[in-house]
Amino acid sequence: AQSVTQLDSQVPVFEEAPVELRCNYSSSVSVYLFWYVQYPNQGLQLLLKYLSGSTLVKGINGFEAEFNKSQTSFHLRKPSVHISDTAEYFCAVSEGAQKLVFGQGTRLTINP
């Protein structure tokens, strides 16, 4: 069965600084990987996804992630964060069109 580990529960950064949110997964088969963002009192919104092809995936709001099969990782990055990026970020894995399994989440806090 697949599982997801988000290595940091909270990440504080200063505005305009770069950020990396770490995600590792385990699965016995090929997987599809996702990053979702959750703003307060909102549902989950897709940031980006890796299905196949290029291992560097670009998403919305300037975020990107790199799929590393050998390290079973899918870390999320942004070169310069903004106050509006303050939110909870969830990494998720899916085997085929089945259920999404989520990590515990990383709370990103941007300080001015």
Partner 1 sequence: EAGVAQSPRYKIIEKRQSVAFWCNPISGHATLYWYQQILGQGPKLLIQFQNNGVVDDSQLPKDRFSAERLKGVDSTLKIQPAKLEDSAVYLCASRLMGDVSEAFFGQGTRLTVV
Residue (97 or 112) nearer to partner 1, CB: 97
Confirm if 27 and 5 have CB atoms less than 8 A apart: no
Sole binder of partner 1 in the list 93, 103, 108, 110 (CB under 8 A) = 103
Choices 15-23, 41-49, 55-63, 78-86 (CB under 8 A): range interacting with partner 1:
41-49
Residue 3, interface with partner 1 (CB under 8 A)?
Answer: no
Residue in 43, 53, 70, 112 binding partner 1, rule: CB under 8 A? 43
- Among 13-21, 42-50, 63-71, 78-86, the segment contacting partner 1 (CB under 8 A): 42-50
Q: How wide is the angle at C-alpha 103 spanned by C-alphas 57 and 31, nearest 5°? A: 50
Candidates 21-29, 37-45, 66-74, 78-86; binding stretch for partner 1 (CB under 8 A)? 37-45
19 burial type by CB count under 10 A (0-12 exposed, 13-18 middle, 19+ buried): buried
54 interacts with partner 1 by CB under 8 A: no
| Amino acid, res. 75 | H
Single-letter residue type at 81? V
Compute the distance between CA of residue 71 and CA of residue 54 in angstroms, rounded to an integer.
16
Beta carbons within 8 Å of 39's beta carbon, 6+ residues apart: 45, 87
Q: Which residues bind partner 1 (CB under 8 A)?
A: 4, 6, 32, 34, 36, 41-46, 49, 51, 90, 94, 96-105
